[in-house]
Amino acid sequence: DIVMTQSPDSLAVSLGERATINCKSSQSVLYSSNNKNYLAWYQQKPGQPPNLVINWASTRESGVPDRFSGSGSGTDFTLTISSLQAEDVAVYYCQQFYTTPVTFGGGTKVEIK
């Protein structure tokens, strides 16, 4: 199975400041035939289901604010919130869907400093 490791486990960022979450996969999730990274990011607020934010490592879902961006390739990925807003407080998960079983990172809790 591909192991997804997120860091940090939690971070506190001031409103308007940048938040950066890292995700590392135990093997590459880049499919060479189409040059796509099979990596997604989800936001989960308390009491709610996860919400897909980014897929294919860097494609923002419709309706997601452009302060959210995804980057990286192969085994190392980053989710960046360029200017943290109060409504961004949540736990964020990365997920690889390169192969089954699909696996998730352990989550990163983002709070306001």
Q: How are beta strands 39-44 and 51-55 bridged, if at all?
A: antiparallel
User: How far is the C-alpha of 13 from the C-alpha of 87, rounded, in Å?
Assistant: 13
Q: How far is the CB of 102 from another protein (least distance, A)?
A: 4
User: In the complex with another protein, which residue's Cβ is closer, 75 or 108?
Assistant: 108
Instruction: Give the nearer residue to another protein in terms of CB position, either 16 or 32.
Output: 32
CA dist., res. 2 & res. 12, Å (int): 28
Q: What value, to the nearest 5°, has the Cα angle with vertex 23 and ends 21 and 28? A: 155
Task: Give least dist CB 58 to another protein, A.
Answer: 13
CB of 13 to another protein, least distance (A): 21
Residues engaged in binding another protein (CB under 8 A): 1, 38, 40, 42, 44, 48-52, 55, 61, 93, 95, 97, 100-107
